[in-house]
Amino acid sequence: MPAWDWAGREKFAGPGACLGIMPAMSRPTACLPVAASALALLACSPALDWRSVPLPEAGITLSLPCKPERAARPVDLGAGVVELSMVGCRADGATFALSHMPLADPSQAGAALARWRTAVLARMQAGPQAQAGTAFVPRQALDLPQSLRMVVRGRGADGAEVVAEAVWFARLEGRQARLYHAVVYAPQPRTAAADTFFTGLALAAVSAQRRHRAAP
C-alpha cells in the first residue's frame, strides 16, 4: 500500500510496519526550528475506529481513529539538538498526527511555535492568507497568541492539493516547556474528524506529570 506523500518524506519500513516520516526541519533561510512535524504516518485500516492513546512521557492523551505508529528523531532547534517525537496513523483517506518536543526556555515558547508554524506552511507552499487562525488553548496549555488552530490549503511534493487542519500549543513542563503540533491532512477538509481529534487532546495536570516522572 503506497504511503500518501505530501512533501517528500523519508521512509522507514520495518516488519509489519507501514510508516513514513516527513523530514522534521525546513530551513528556507536560517536555522528554523522544526519545519514540519507533519508525519506521513500510515496505518493500513480505512475505518475511523477512535481509541485513546496516552503519552505519559509527553503529559498528554490523544484520540486516534486508527492504530498508531510512533517515531522519534533528533532535530536542531537552533539552540541545540532535541528529540522530536511523533505518533499518528492514516484512516479513511486522512492522516492524523501529533508531534511534540521539549523547549529549554519557556519564555521562547510563543516564538518557537510561530517559527514551527511558518516552516510547516512554507513546506506546504501555502499562500499568505493561510497565516490567519483562531485561538486554540487546551486546558493546562500556556495562553499564548501563537497557540492557534488553522485550516491551510497547500500542495504536496507531487503538486496535488492537500488540506491541513492543524493546531499548535505549548505547556510548562517543570523548568522547561513542551511544544505540540497536531494535524489532519487530507485532499479535502475533514472538519468533523479534526474536531474529534483536537477535542481529544487532553493535557495532564502538572501533579500527574510529576507522579509519572517520580515513578521508577
Tens-digit pLDDT profile for residues 121-180: 988 988 766 657 899 999 999 999 999 999 999 987 778 899 999 999 999 999 999 999
Q: Is residue 33 part of a domain?
A: yes
Q: Is residue 1 part of a domain?
A: no
Q: Is residue 4 part of a domain?
A: no
Phi-psi domain of 158 (left: phi exceeds 0; alpha: psi -120 through 50; beta: other):
alpha
Which one, of 200, 188, 191, lies nearest residue 87 by Cα? 200
Number of structural domains found in the chain: 1
**How far is it, in rounded angstroms, from Cα 178 to Cα 172?**
6
Q: Is residue 75 part of a domain?
A: yes
Contacts of 163 (CB under 8 A, 6+ apart): 151, 152, 153, 154, 185, 186, 187, 188, 189, 190
Q: pLDDT grade, residue 211 (50/70/90)?
A: very low
Give the predicted TM-score (pTM) of the model. 0.77
Number of H helices, E strands in the chain: 3, 13
CA distances in angstroms from 210 to 52, 134, 172, 204, 207, listed in the order given: 21, 31, 12, 10, 5
Q: Tell me what pLDDT residue 42 has.
A: 37
Q: Is residue 5 part of a domain?
A: no
Q: Is residue 183 part of a domain?
A: yes
CB 134 within 8 A of CB 148: yes
DSSP three-state, residue 17: coil
pLDDT at 15 over 80: no
Q: pLDDT per residue over 21-63, tens digit each?
A: 344 343 433 333 333 334 344 334 456 899 999 999 999 999 9
The better pLDDT of the pair 104, 16 is held by 104
**How far is it, in rounded angstroms, from Cα 216 to Cα 214?**
6
Q: Tell me what pLDDT residue 77 has.
A: 61
Window from 86-100, 111-125, 136-150, 181-195 with minimum mean pLDDT:
111-125
Q: Is residue 3 part of a domain?
A: no
- Average pLDDT along the chain: 77
Quote the domain boundaries for residue 38. Answer: 10-214
Q: Is residue 2 part of a domain?
A: no
